[in-house]
Structure 1
């Protein structure tokens, strides 16, 4: 049986004033399966092409916190909310180094497989 899921891309935006970004992860939320996970990949060379001074340590810390909010491994208060509330909080518009795309939907029977497919297709550099 397939279930509706929502996903959003995680974007590194080194300099908001330029409007340039690089996809560095994907969030996938499926309410009927109580599933919220993220998968990331940071291509340092591509990011440094956008901004040689990017703070990659800050980006890495932010990604760890966001993924921890998804799987509940963070100590932050956000883990006391429902998965749906977490997904909405994570995908809310913001003007920071880490932003999300608009949300999109799909259908899934295996959310881990769809998360991996989206990550390979939309986040990893072209082979």
Structure 2
């Protein structure tokens, strides 16, 4: 049976003042299915063409922190999955930002997250 979920695209914004962005991941939350996860894909060649001076190692480390937060590692362990999702998708002026939150229905949130990564990022 399909249940509701929310998702947002994770965007790399190398120069916040310019507002230019490239999709580098997706975060998905389903309260009904008890799922919170992020999948990322950092295409180094594409990022370098877009923003040659970006520190790819730093971006990769920051993207890993999204995964750790989703899993409840570190200080995030004190938060519910819903609180972690809301914290990650809250507006911010950093190099990694979440786009608008969208909704859908799924029976398999992990497979849906992989599908969204393929469609929206890769």
Pair 1:58 & 2:65 matched = no
What is the CA–CA distance in structure 1 between the aligned matches of 2:120 and 2:30, rounded to whole Å? 19
TM-score with structure 1 length normalisation? 0.92
Question: After superposition, where does 1:26-65 map in structure 2 within 5 Å?
Answer: 26-65=26-65
RMSD: 0.9
Q: 1:94 aligns with which of 78, 92, 97?
A: 92
Gaps of 5+ in 1: none
CA contact (8 A) 1:20 1:50 kept: no
SS in 2 for 1:33: coil
What is the CA–CA distance in structure 2 between the aligned matches of 1:55 and 1:102, rounded to whole Å? 25
Aligned pair count reads: 122
Deviation at 1:79, TM superposition (A): 2.1
Pair 1:106 & 2:94 matched = no
